[in-house]
Structure 1
Amino acid sequence: MALQQVVEQTVAGLGYDLVEIERSAGGLLRVTIDLPWIAPTSDGVPGAPEPFVTVEDCEKVTRQLQFALEVDGADYKRLEVSSPGIDRPLRHEQDFERFVGEVIDVTLKAPMGAAAGGQVAANRKKFRGTLERAEAGGWQIVWSEAPEPKPGQKISKKRAPAPLHALGFALDELREARLAPIVDFKGRRPKTPAGSVEQAPEGLSDIGDTEVSD
């Protein structure tokens, strides 16, 4: 069975969502998990605050994955299971529904300057903006080219707001989409706290001890 399939089935079987799988130099297999998202009710009322992935969650998934990967004969030296960071990837339709209103970074497969009404360079592929649902269906990001004000800078109320630009896209036009790694020191809550569990597979304990990091 393919490694991707083994990991997906194991993570889903424990009640978590698989966010990302990465293989790095040195035999590191990094698996990012999240708790399933509960969409708002039909009347738009949000549910309870989103729970966070804990170190205990990562430990549970690590133990089960080690067993599943050993049975499958997967080739790796270290396994790290963690929660998503502030630059969480967006891959599925549900991810975009979940993070409407957040600032995201998108990289297109092909330039879409013309599709943006000539507002951007014709060969531009990378954009940062607020994720919104497009009126015609699909998704769009909205942004302003105005520079961010410097800390303590006063902005005149008479100053005309900078024009907004919008770029519509379909998911199959994206090479990559991630939450923008923006830290708001005024209290913007993180989607998930940092945390990970890293272990070597059975029989490779000399590679390193179990590591739990915040």
Structure 2
Amino acid sequence: MDAVERIEQIITPTVEGLGYEVVRVQLSGSKSAVLQIMAERTDGAPMTVEDCADISRSVSAVLDVEDPIKAAYTLEVSSPGIDRPLTRLKDYERFAGFEAKLESRVAVDGRKRFKGILKGVEDNLVCIDTEQGAAKLEFDNILRAKLVLTDDLIRASQGQG
């Protein structure tokens, strides 16, 4: 288990206990490390600055006790935003019908980058329709993925979709 997985394991019960879900945890920087925690409300309501502050206070206390990061670091808590990263299998189902960019670890059909409309998940395979045709990527093969900011996505995020 790497440091990020360990941190996520430590903070998830606290974050969930507050009524949020961890979307992504990232640790970056060597001299001045930054721990980024991206979370969203489980009730689907938009995240507020107060939500981020609540998570930050609670997570800070847990991390101070567990001390998984030995060096000094800065903690940043944020919401995923509209053009959010897709980090969990359920994200691909939830955002089916919207445009996304995916990058695979290992080439699929001779390529690693895919842009198109998400079609959901079938047997742990993320389905996407691209200009080059339909593609299916194993979830574990996806290095990174995010929604593309489109008018449809903006309308849906404002409850007009």
Question: Does the pair score TM above 0.5?
Answer: yes
Q: In angstroms, what is the RMSD of aligned CA positions?
A: 2.7
Taking a change above 3 Å as real, the CA distance of residues 136 and 4 of structure 1, as seen in their structure-2 partners, is closer
Which amino acid counterpart does residue 70 of structure 1 have in structure 2?
A: D
User: 1:158-173 counterparts in 2 under 5 A?
Assistant: 165-173=133-141
CA distance in 1, matches of 2:105, 2:14: 31
Structure with more of its chain in strand, by fraction: 2
Q: What is the TM-score with the length of structure 1 in the denominator?
A: 0.61
CA distance in 1, matches of 2:105, 2:113: 10
CA distance in 1, matches of 2:123, 2:61: 47
Residue 91 of structure 2 is aligned to residue 99 of structure 1: no
Structure with more of its chain in helix, by fraction: 2
Secondary structure (helix, strand or coil) at the match of 1:22 reads strand
User: Could you tell me which residue of structure 1 aligns to residue 130 of structure 2?
Assistant: 143
Cα deviation, residue 106, structure 1: 1.0
User: Could you tell me which residue of structure 2 aligns to residue 205 of structure 1?
Assistant: none
Residue 50 of structure 2 is aligned to residue 56 of structure 1: yes
User: 1:58-97 counterparts in 2 under 5 A?
Assistant: 58-75=52-69, 76-97=72-93
Which amino acid counterpart does residue 33 of structure 2 have in structure 1?
A: G
- 1:153-194: CA deviation from partner (whole Å, max 9, x where unpaired): xxxxxxxxxxxx1112231232222212x253x8823749xx
CA contact (8 A) 1:86 1:190 kept: no
Report 1 or 2 for greater relative contact order, CA contacts < 8 Å, sequence distance ≥ 6. Answer: 1
Q: What is the TM-score with the length of structure 2 in the denominator?
A: 0.79
User: Could you tell me which residue of structure 2 aligns to residue 188 of structure 1?
Assistant: 154
Residue 122 of structure 2 is aligned to residue 129 of structure 1: no
**Partner of residue 35 from structure 1, selected from 41, 44, 49:** 41
Which amino acid counterpart does residue 55 of structure 2 have in structure 1?
A: V
CA distance in 1, matches of 2:67, 2:124: 44
Q: How many residues align?
A: 150
User: Could you tell me which residue of structure 1 aligns to residue 28 of structure 2?
Assistant: 24
**Partner of residue 9 from structure 1, selected from 10, 13, 18:** 13
Task: Select the structure of larger CA radius of gyration.
Answer: 1
Q: Which runs of 5+ in 1 are unaligned?
A: 38-49, 114-121, 146-164, 193-214
